[in-house]
Structure 1
Amino acid sequence: MSSPTRTRMTGIGRVLVIVYAIMALASTGRSFVQIVERFDEAPLAYTLSAISAVVYILATLALIFSRSRAWYIVAWIAIGFELVGVLVVGTLSFVLPEIFGHPSVWSYFGGLGPHGYFGYLYVPLVLPFFGLWWLIAHRPAVTVPAEPATAAAAS
C-alpha cells in the first residue's frame, strides 16, 4: 500500500519525475564542478547553474509528493520559477552573452548555442511546460469535511 502523501506515479508522470531527477543530477554535478574549479571565471553563470540544480531537486521531490496540497503548491512554484528562469536566462544568453561569461544550464534555453556549446538538447525549455501540464491534469483530491450531525437528525 502506498503512502497517503505520495502520488502513484505511472506512465508519463513517472517519466516526468525521472527526467527531473536526471536534470537534478546533471545540473548539480555541473554546478559543483564549475564552482569548485573555476568560479572566478563566470560567477553569475555558475551561480545560475547551482540555482537550477536546487530548482530541479525541489521540483523532483514536489512532483513525487504532489498528492499533498502543500507539495502540489511547491511543485507549481518550483516549475513556474524554472520556466521563468529558462526563458529569461535563455533570452539573455542570446541577447547579452557577455554578462554570463560561460554557459549555464539554462543558457540558450538549454540547447545549441554559439561557439559549439551543446547544452541539454532543449530539455530545460520543454520540461517545465510538461511539468505544468501534468500538475494541471493531476490536481490533488480536495477533502471536504463531513457535516456535523445536528440534534434534529439524531432524533
Structure 2
Amino acid sequence: MTPDTSAQKPEHSPRTRSTGLGRILVAVYGVFAISATARAGYQIATKFSDAPLAYLLSAVAAVVYIVATVAMARRGVTSWYVTLGAILVELIGILAVGAASVVDSAAFPHDTVWSGFGRGYGYVPLILPFLGLAWLFYNRPRRAQA
C-alpha cells in the first residue's frame, strides 16, 4: 500500500531564497525597511501634528518592510508564509494609500512611503511587491517526495 502523501507538510524548496535575485530583493527590502523606519521616526518625533495620518502610515510601511525583510532572509515554510503575508499587506497598502493620496490629496498634506504609489521613491514601492510575489511563488514550498 502506498503512503498518503496528501497529509504531508510542505517543505522548503531545495532552491534557497537568499541567493541571486532573492539576495537582491532582500537587500532592496532592507533598504526600504531602514529608510521607511528613519523617515517615520523623524516625522513622528519632529512634526507629528502636521500630518498624523501620513506619518502613521509611514510607520506602518516601515513595520511591513521590516517583517518582509527578516522573513524573506530566513529559510523555512513558516518564513515563506510570513513573507507572503507581509508582501500582500504591502501590495494592499501601496494600492490603497497610493489611490487615496491621489484622489484626496488634502488628506495627505505630507508624503508617505506609499503616497502617489511611491512617487517619492521612484515608484519602486509599487513595483517591489509584484517582484516579491513573483519571486515567492517561484520559490514556494513543495510537497515532500515519497
TM-score, normalisation: structure 2: 0.86
Report the RMSD for the aligned CA atoms in angstroms. 1.9
Which residue among 77, 80, 87 is the counterpart of 1:72?
Answer: 80
Unaligned runs of 5+ in 2: 1-11
User: What is the match of residue 107 of structure 1?
Assistant: 115
Map Cα deviations across residues 19-54 of structure 1 (whole Å, 9 max, x no partner).
000000000000000000000110000000000000
User: What is the match of residue 50 of structure 2?
Assistant: 41
- Rg larger in structure: 1
Unaligned runs of 5+ in 1: 112-118, 147-155
Report how many residues are paired: 134
Map Cα deviations across residues 54-109 of structure 1 (whole Å, 9 max, x no partner).
000000011111x3111111111100000010001011111101112211110001
Which residue among 83, 92, 96 is the counterpart of 2:104?
Answer: 96
Query: Are residue 13 (structure 1) and residue 22 (structure 2) matched?
Result: yes
Letter in 1 for 2:129: P
Q: Which has the higher contact order (CA 8 A, sep 6+)?
A: 2
User: What is the match of residue 129 of structure 2?
Assistant: 128
C-alpha displacement at 1:139, in angstroms? 1.1
C-alpha displacement at 1:143, in angstroms? 3.4
C-alpha displacement at 1:140, in angstroms? 2.5
- Which secondary structure does the structure 1 equivalent of 2:110 belong to? coil
| Aligned residues with identical type, % of pairs | 51
User: What is the match of residue 93 of structure 2?
Assistant: 85
Contact 2:17–2:139 (Cα < 8 Å) also in 1: no
User: What is the match of residue 144 of structure 2?
Assistant: 143
TM-score, normalisation: structure 1: 0.81
